[in-house]
Chains A and B, each alone.
Chain A
Amino acid sequence: MSEFKQTFNSSLGKKLIMALTGLFLCTFLIVHLGGNLLLFKNDDGYGFNVYANFLTHFPPIEVIAYLLYLSILVHALYALILTIKNRKARPVGYAHVNKSPATWSSKNMGLLGSILFLFLVIHMGDFWYNYKFTSKIGFKEYRTDLATDKTQSVDYVPTSPNFEKSVSTENNFEIVRVKDLHARVASSFTNLLYVIFYVIAMFAVSFHLLHGFQSAFRTLGWVHRKYTPIVYFIGTWLFAVIIPIGFALMPIVYYIQSR
């Protein structure tokens, strides 16, 4: 056991923890973006609300979700510990600014990470906390005519305070009643400042992962003439371009629609 502790207390061990938690958080981004693309579906939030309900009520996903929150905290905590150690390693700084060529993102991972942490606190406080622990979010009822496949939605006020979700069928109509997170998303993104904050945070995601994704592979020691270019390609195009743009489009599109 002490050997294990020694491994993870070493400089390389701490970086291993950073790399593993970081890559785990990267895989989550793919799932999160995939699911949230339902926001772009013009169905008054039917798909999105059912998806949100599934995420919060399917036990295996619940377990992974708590692992994810733990990863965020561990990643942030170790970043803090490593930064303090790195500062201590150079007690007297240089007078002349360091001009050694290194990418801007690689030199500002702490700043980018801090923006992201602030974003996560606000983002989870607004959506995740309110969805799970408060009654601020209302319900919606979706009636789908099974003959014509047309869906109509109306607000729904549950009689029981413990109501979560119901699916019933009556007279060839499928009725789905579910928490209306979509309305919360739409109302949040009418605020221009909020939208700007989200877009800035997505820039932070982009630059954080532009360096972080490939750096994690280097830390793990997975560098190979054949495969490292692929890691760079994925880190750049998927994690630093497609994913941040996909996420940033959500507040932008909802803001434009609300005008």
Chain B
Amino acid sequence: MNLTLKVWRQKNADVKGAFVTYKAERISPDMSFLEMLDVVNESLILKGDEPIHFDHDCREGICGMCSLYINGHPHGPKNAITTCQLHMRTFHDGETIVIEPWRAAAFPVIKDLAVDRSSFDRIQQAGGFVSVNTGVTIDANAIPIPKVIADEAFNSATCIGCGACVAACKNASAMLFVSAKVSQLAMLPQGQPERWSRVQAMVAQMDAEGFGNCTNTGACEAECPKEIKMTNISLMNNDYFSAKLFREEHVHEHASGE
């Protein structure tokens, strides 16, 4: 396959970027999208050009490192996969592919297509954990959890924190990510002691990072590679309003992980 790529090139966060057009020639339809970029980069290096900088790590859809906004879709046009799982057979010969980085104030561009997603880390560090006292190992089945609850919590826990929800949202809102991280713990008994302080701490950090506000368009849910559901957002809202308006627990009572 021969393709035309329009790739966003930007030296760093401080300078303006622009699109540069490249030819991707003799691409196998069985290549992943990232392998296709590898081939293009090889040719750029041979020509003495700077290769295109993009994020990737495990290349099997579980780490959440790869990103790319491809032809108007985060992780490309297919549902429930990451960019590394996207194959070139999805495109047709001669097609023009526009590749952009995630666009959000909270995700500044590091270089070219790679963005800094450490705002997600800071939200997690604000409360996305359970404080466990060390000691003897507790039997795995010591705390009974109904199967439906365990399944639902696990569905939320499958979030890989790639940021596709932010990239897809017209408001660059991080609500799907934050709500998945809040509700995976809020549903389980182990998450109860910190439930009301956690939601306050994580929402406060989300706001501080400068993400937009949720308007329930559902674009996040549609683009999520792990099919995280919007019901998480409502669950988080419910917990947040309950914590703020009815519970006598404050955000500063949350142990900060020491």
- Which residues of A line the B interface, CB within 8 A? 3, 7, 10-16, 82, 85-86, 88-103, 106-107, 109, 211, 214-215, 218-223
Known A12-B203, A85-B212; judge A98-B71 contact (CB<8 A): no
CB neighbours (8 Å) of B241 from chain A are 12, 16, 220-221
> Given B73, B100, B170, which contacts A107 in the complex, CB threshold below 8 Å?
B170
Instruction: List the B side residues contacting A12 at CB < 8 Å.
Output: 203, 237, 240-241
Q: How far is the CB of B156 from chain A (nearest CB, A)?
A: 14
Which residues of the other chain, A, contact B106 by a CB distance below 8 angstroms? 89
- Stretch touching chain A among B47-55, B130-138, B215-223: B215-223
**Whole-angstrom distance between the alpha carbons of A98 and B211 in the complex?**
18
Q: How many residues of B contact A (CB 8 A)?
A: 50
Provide the residues of chain A in CB contact with B239, threshold 8 Å: 221
B213–A14 CB distance below 8 A: yes
User: What are the interface flags for B235-248 relative to A under an 8 Å C-beta threshold, 1 for contact and 0 otherwise?
Assistant: 11111110011000
Whether A211 lies near B216 (C-beta < 8 A) is yes
Taking Cβ atoms with an 8 Å cutoff, the residues of B that contact A are 6, 8, 19, 69, 71-74, 77, 98, 100, 103-106, 168, 170-173, 203-204, 206-207, 210-219, 222-223, 230-231, 233-241, 244-245, 250
Contact across chains for B234 and A90 when beta carbons are under 8 A apart: no
Inter-chain CA distance A86–B69, complex, in Å, is: 19
12 contacts between A and B (CB under 8 A): A14-B213, A15-B237, A85-B212, A89-B105, A94-B100, A99-B73, A100-B168, A103-B217, A103-B218, A106-B217, A214-B216, A220-B238
Asked whether A102 lies within 8 Å of B244 as measured between CB atoms, the reply is no
CA distance A95 to B101 in the complex (A): 11
CA distance A220 to B233 in the complex (A): 10
Most buried by B among A11, A93, A214, A219: A11
Given A89-B211, A97-B72, A221-B239, also A11-B203 (CB < 8 A): yes
- Could you say which residues of chain A place their CB within 8 Å of the CB of B210? 88-89
Q: Judging by beta carbons under 8 Å apart, are B105 and A219 in contact?
A: no
What is the CA–CA distance of A15 and B237 in the complex, to the nearest angstrom?
10
Q: How far is the CB of B258 from chain A (nearest CB, A)?
A: 24
Of the candidates B173, B222, B238, B244, the one whose C-beta lies within 8 Å of that of A13 is B244
Contact A89 B172 (CB under 8 A): yes
Q: How far is the CB of B18 from chain A (nearest CB, A)?
A: 10
Query: How far apart sit A99 and B237, CA to CA, in the bound complex (Å)?
Result: 27
Q: Tell whether, in the assembled complex, residue A100 and residue B73 are in contact, meaning their CB atoms are under 8 Å apart.
A: yes
Among candidates A93, A96, A215, residue contacting B71 with C-beta atoms closer than 8 Å = A96
Most buried by B among A16, A85, A97, A221: A221
| Residues on B with beta carbons closer than 8 Å to the beta carbon of A14 | 213
- Contact for A94 among B103, B216, B230, CB less than 8 A: B103
Q: Which residues of A contact B71 (CB under 8 A)?
A: 96, 99
A101 to B80, CA, bound (A): 13
Chain B residue with the shortest CB-CB distance to A214: B216
Contact A89 B173 (CB under 8 A): yes
Q: In the assembled complex, which residues on chain A have CB atoms less than 8 Å from the CB atom of B69?
A: 94, 96
Set B73, B203, B219, B235: member contacting A10, Cβ < 8 A: B203
Question: Which residues of the other chain, B, contact A90 by a CB distance below 8 angstroms?
Answer: 103-105, 171-172, 212
Chain A residues closer than 8 Å to B173, beta-carbon distance: 11, 86, 89
List chain A residues, Cβ under 8 A from B223: 100
Bound-complex Cα distance A96 to B68 (A): 12
A223 partner residues in chain B, CB cutoff 8 A: 231, 234-235
Q: How far is the CA of A103 from the CA of B219 in the complex (A)?
A: 9
Q: From the candidates A11, A82, A86, A102, name the one contacting B219 in the complex (CB within 8 A).
A: A102
Taking A82-B213, A85-B212 as given, write out 6 further A-B residue pairs in contact, using a Cβ cutoff of 8 Å, ordered by the A residue number: A11-B173, A89-B104, A98-B168, A99-B77, A106-B218, A218-B234
**In angstroms, how far is the closest chain B Cβ from the Cβ of A107?**
6
